[in-house]
Amino acid sequence: MPRVAHSVRGRLRVRYPAPWLRPRCAALETRLQAVPGVRTVRGKPLTGSISIEYDPFLLAEGAILRTLRELEGELDRRPHALRRRARPRAPQPTSRAPLMQLVGTTSVLAATCCLPVPAALTTGLVLAACVPTFLRAGLTLAERRRVNGDVLEAATLGVLVVRRHHAAAALLSWLRAVGEYLVARTITTTRRSLIEVVAPPDVSVLVRRDGERRPLPVTALVAGDVVVVGAGARVPVDGTIVGGEALVNQQSMTGEALPVERREGDRVFAATTVEHGEIEVRADRVGLDTAVGRIVRTIQAAAGEKSRIQVFAERLADREVLRTLGLAGAGAALSRSIEAGTAILVADYGLAARVGIPTALLTSIKRAAGHGILIKGPGAVENLARVDTVVFDKTGTLTTGVPDITRVIAYGGLDEDELVRLAAAAEYGLRHPIARAVARLASARRLEVPHPSAAETSVGLGMDVRVEGRRVLAGSRRFLESNDVDVDDAKDDESAAHAVGAAPTFVAVNGRLAGLLVLQDRLRDDAAAAVRALRARQMRNVIMLSGDHPEPTRVMAESLGLRHHYAEFLPEDKARLVRELKAEGRVVAMVGDGVNDALALAEADVGISVPGGAEVATEAADVVLLEGGLDRVVRALDLARASITSVRRTMGIAARANLAVVGLASFGLARPVASILLSHGVTVGAALVTAARGREVAGVKAPS
C-alpha cells in the first residue's frame, strides 16, 4: 500500500490513502521512531503522507519500505496490538457551560429564597432553571423508552413546582449544577495540570533570533526556534543541539540516572534537565508534539472517559428509580402526606455516580502527575486499583539497564579490539543496554567504530549487519544458531558467565563464531524494596521475565526472593504469559521499558512503562513513569487504590444519606428541603472534599 512520493538519500516520503492512515498514523509514527537508524517521523493524516528522515549508513530505503509493509499488515490484522481497547466515552465537557448553568441556578436560588419576588415570577424562574433536566428526561424517554435518574429528577422537580415548593426545586437544580460544574472543573484542571508537565505557562525561555537572545514564553515556541538552555534548566522541546555542550540528565527519556554528555548534532528531549554547561537546541517538536507531550495528549483525551465502575453505578442507580417511586408512594400512604412522598423522591443514587466517581478518579490522575506518574484515563486508574499480579521485565526494569562488559573472549585468531570494534558496529545507533555497553567499551579503548552499510534487527535476539564487506552477527546463542553458526567453542566460557549471573553476547563474522562478550548487569538499588512493598500489598504473585539465559535470570530472581521467573522469553512469549495469567482470573500489571515489552504491555490489564522506556513501550502502556525508581510503581498502585477507597466512601455516604431520607420522610420527619440537603448536599459535599485533596498538589512537579 505505501507509495513513494519523494526520495533522496536520508529522506523518504510515502503516501497512503488518507482514510486508512488517519486512525493508524500515531501508531505508525511510534513504531517507525523505534526502528534503529530512523531519526524523525512526521505523519500528516489529512494528506495521507509520512515523512521519514534516517541514517543512510545504518538503514536502507528498502528496509524502511519492508518495515512499513509489515506494520501495515500488523495494524490491519491486530488493530489493538499497540493501542488500548476502546473505552466507553462520555461527552468531553468544558467548564464554561456548567459554569453558566451554575450561575443561573444560583441566581434563581437567591431570588427564590432571599428576594420578595412575586409567586408567578418565582415559578417562571424555577421552571427556567429546570429546563435542562426536563430536556434530558424527554430525550431519554424518546430515545431509550425507559425510566432513569434523569426522569426521576424531572418528575421530582415537576412535583415540587406543582406543590409550590419553589425553594426546594431551586435548591435541587442548584446542587445538580454544582455537581456538574465540579466534574467539568476537575476534568479541566486535570488537563491543565498535565500540560504543565510539558509547557508550564509561567515559564519563559531564551530564544536566539536574528543573532540576539530574547525571552519568550515556552507556550509560544514553534518548530525551528533555537532555544538556549543553561545549567539547572529543563529542555522545553525535542530537538537537535546546534551549539554548545552540556551534561544532560535524561532519566525521564532513557532511564539513566547519571547525566550524559551532549554536544552539537546530538538529540535532546523535552522534560530532561541540563545539569552543567549550556546548549542551543533547534526545536524539532514542541508542546504536545514532543515525546512526553504525546503521552499527555493521550491522557487529556481520556480524561472525560467513563470508567467501568461509573457505568455500572449509573446503571444500578437507574434500576433503583422504580423502587424509589414505589417507596415514595408507600411513604405517602404510610404517613398520609404527599409531602412525605415528595421528600422520598429526592433520594437519588445517580448523583453520587455522576459526580463522586469521576471526581475521585480524576483527582488521583492529577495527584499522580505531581509524582511524575502519568495515568492514561479513569479506566486505567480503576484497573490499576484491581491489580493482584505484577510481572516485571528484568533488563532495564529490575536491573539498572546499564551493564558493563567484564570480559572479552576472542576465537579464531581475531584480537579483542577487532572483536569489540565489529560488535560496536553491529550495535551502532541502538539504545538497547547491550549496545550502550559495547559503545562505552569501544570508546574506552579508543577504537574507531565503522558504520554498518545495512542492518536487520531481530527484536529480543540480535543484529545482522554488513561491516566493511563482512557479515557480522551479534546477539544470543539462539540467534546465532538460527543463522547456522556453530557456538560449541564458547560452551565452557558461556557456562562460567552464567555461574556468576552474567549474560554472554555472541559475535560471529562471515558465518563463524568470532567471540564472546560477557555482560554483568546489577539490580536497581530499590528493586528488592519494591518487591517487598508489593508483597505487603497482598499481591497474588510477583513474576520476573527475561530474554536472557536461565542461569543469570535464576541468580537475580533468588536475590530478590522471587520464586516465579522465566528466561529466554521472546516478546510474543511475554504477551502469551500475560494472556495465560489473565485467563486464570488475575488482574495483571506488566512493568517494562523496551520495544520487546510492548506486546506484553498492551496485553496486560495495566501496562507500566518505567523511566526511559522506548516510545513504542510508552505508547502501549497505561501508566508512564517519568521519573524515580520502582517505588513509583508502588506509589501508582497506592494512589489508584486510594481513589477507589474514596469512591466507595462517597457511594457509602450517599447510600446512608438516601436511606435516612427514606426512613425520616416515611414517618413525616423530613420535608423536601431537608431531604434534598441530606441526600444531594451530603453527596456533593463529599465530592468537594475529594476535589480539595487534589489541590494539595497545586503545581505539577517538573520531572528532573
Mention every residue, 6+ apart, whose C-beta is less than 8 A from residue 688. 182
CA gap 70, 76 in Å, rounded: 10
Measured from the Cβ of residue 263, the count of other Cβ atoms closer than 10 Å reads 12
CA gap 357, 359 in Å, rounded: 5
The per-residue pLDDT for 390 is 95
pLDDT tens column, 325-379: 788 788 778 777 787 778 787 777 677 788 888 888 888 888 888 888 888 888 8
The per-residue pLDDT for 633 is 92
The per-residue pLDDT for 326 is 81
The per-residue pLDDT for 88 is 39
The per-residue pLDDT for 702 is 35
CA gap 396, 595 in Å, rounded: 12
Q: What is the pTM of this model?
A: 0.66
Q: Where are the alpha helices (DSSP H) in 200-269?
A: 251-254
The per-residue pLDDT for 588 is 94
The per-residue pLDDT for 435 is 82
The per-residue pLDDT for 543 is 94
Quick one: which of 533, 201, 240 has its CA closest to 390? Answer: 533
Residue identified by cell 491522557 is 299
Handedness of CA 263, 267, 270, 273 (dihedral sign): negative
User: Which residue positions in the chain have pLDDT lower than 50?
Assistant: 78-93, 255, 697-704
Mention every residue, 6+ apart, whose C-beta is less than 8 A from residue 214. 206, 207
The per-residue pLDDT for 337 is 76
Quick one: which of 233, 205, 209, 230 has its CA closest to 219? Answer: 205
Residues labelled catalytic:
393
Task: Judge residue 356's burial from the number of C-beta atoms within 10 Å of its C-beta, 0-12 exposed, 13-18 middle, 19 or more buried.
Answer: buried
- Alpha carbon 594 to its chain's center: 15
The per-residue pLDDT for 460 is 54
Q: How many CA atoms lie within 13 A of 247 on its CB side?
A: 7
The per-residue pLDDT for 46 is 66
pLDDT tens column, 476-499: 888 888 888 998 888 899 888 887
Which helix (H) or strand (E) covers residue 276, if one does? strand 273-286
